[in-house]
Amino acid sequence: MRMHTSLASLGALLLPFASAQSPGGTGSSNVSSSLGPDEHGFYWIYSEGLSAAFIPYGASIAKLLINDKYGVERDVVAGFDNATAYTLDAAHPHLGGVPGRYANRIQNSTFEIDGQTYHIDPNENPTPEAPKGADTLHGGPDGWDYRNFTVVSHSNDSVTFSIVDPDGKEGFPGEVISYITYTLRNFTWDIKMVALATTKKTPIMLSSHVYWNLDGFANNETNTALNHTFYLPYSGQRVGVDNILIPTGDILANKQGSVNDFWSAPKQIGADLQQPEADGNCGFNCTGYDTCWIINRDQDGPYDWRAEGGFVARLQSAWSGIQVDVYTDQEAFQMYSCNGQNATMPLKTTQGLFNNSDFPRTIPQYGCLVMEVEDWIDAINHPEWQREKRQIYGPGGDPYILQASYVFSINDTAMS
């Protein structure tokens, strides 16, 4: 009975979201489609200006189609041409899915709740002393984006996935039930994630791990995304990390003009990568970004995260003219500049250039970027940050909720 009640509560939370007002207007879907998966295993949804395909594996987005400034349709997210390929990919770069039940890294694969220490399954940075890994990334070796979700609702403009994460899975305490809803409307992709801890206190922090290239990987001048302009208007601070990207507990200033300054003005992602400060910026022997910026909107008083112009991040390509503004209720933002890509991930048939030896049909280093809305990473190991109410959830308490809207437009202004 408890489980059924929890599911009903989650469903009630999800019902208003599809019709909720948020940035970019209301819009309506006028593209008809047969519901259910297509021959490639994709669940399609549509709205004015956008169409997108999703798969149950990881509740992942597989395609997002939008016309560029010339009217050419671009698929701006990395992925595969069919759903089966996601389950066969041994590299598993968390491609478009929902990492959970705790996104990003957990130091030493341990945390403490109410005086009890929990040891979860490690899966990153193996050492002789810790052959399975020194930390846990994105929920562990069988985190949420390794699993098939259940499709519980699918309409012309919305799809909802659900997962039941058992007590003890990957070492996490307690059962968690979650719903992930994706909706399209009027050039906007809305995300709502709801999760409920039903039996024990447990950490919950989700995100969306999409690999973006606003040129559809088809730019005939460069095959990287370093030409994309990035802007974080509320992010004058970031989480300090060590050389394997584990938070140290320090909150660092992004001084104006520094490599990590995207708050004082928009700039291209590659603008400062030749600076000495960029070396090691994303970990040992790594040049680029894999950085968690703090979103500080409280300085302006009470705010509505949906209010027009209140985006926390903007990504834009002058080449395609495609721009996306990210609105969210979350208080941190991670950007990864695909430093680890090495031209082994193939492009989809909807992407890239053909018959051009200068531009192989793979994603090179810096050929994409990941944008993750989330809370402060590994805050469960930093009680001094006082994030418990946003990261530790228990039966009878509030549910975990993440909301975000990705608002697309055309802006071909060139920036350096």
Q: Judge contact between 327 and 404, C-beta under 8 A.
A: yes
Of residues 234, 300, 228, 224, the one with CA closest to residue 262: 234
Q: Residues 378, 79, 109, CA angle at the centre, nearest 5°?
A: 20
Provide the phi-psi class of 372: left if phi over 0, else alpha when psi is between -120 and 50, else beta: beta
Q: Which helix (H) or strand (E) holds 13?
A: helix 2-14
Residue 209 is among the residues annotated as catalytic for this protein:
yes
3-state secondary structure 248-263: EEEEEECCCCCCCCCC
Task: Catalytic residue, from 94, 209, 228, 382: name it.
Answer: 209
Of residues 11, 14, 20, the one with CA closest to residue 305: 20
Amino acid type, 202: T
Task: Catalytic residue, from 124, 331, 372, 374: name it.
Answer: 372
Residue 308 is among the residues annotated as catalytic for this protein:
no
Do strands 105-107 and 110-113 pair parallel, antiparallel, or not at all (unpaired)?
Answer: unpaired
Structure tokens of 326?
């990210």
CA dist., res. 153 & res. 405, Å (int): 20
CA dist., res. 205 & res. 203, Å (int): 7
Structure tokens of 260?
């990590």
Q: Which helix (H) or strand (E) holds 96?
A: none
Query: Which position has the token pair 């308490």?
Result: 397
Can you say whether the dihedral through the CA atoms of 299, 301, 302, 305 is positive or negative?
A: negative
Those residues with Cβ within 8 angstroms of residue 71's Cβ, 6 or more apart along the chain or in another chain? none
Q: Is the peptide bond before 101 cis (omega within 30 degrees of 0)?
A: yes
Q: Which helix (H) or strand (E) holds 202?
A: strand 202-203
Do strands 247-253 and 73-75 pair parallel, antiparallel, or not at all (unpaired)?
Answer: unpaired
CA dist., res. 113 & res. 399, Å (int): 17
Active site residues: 209, 372
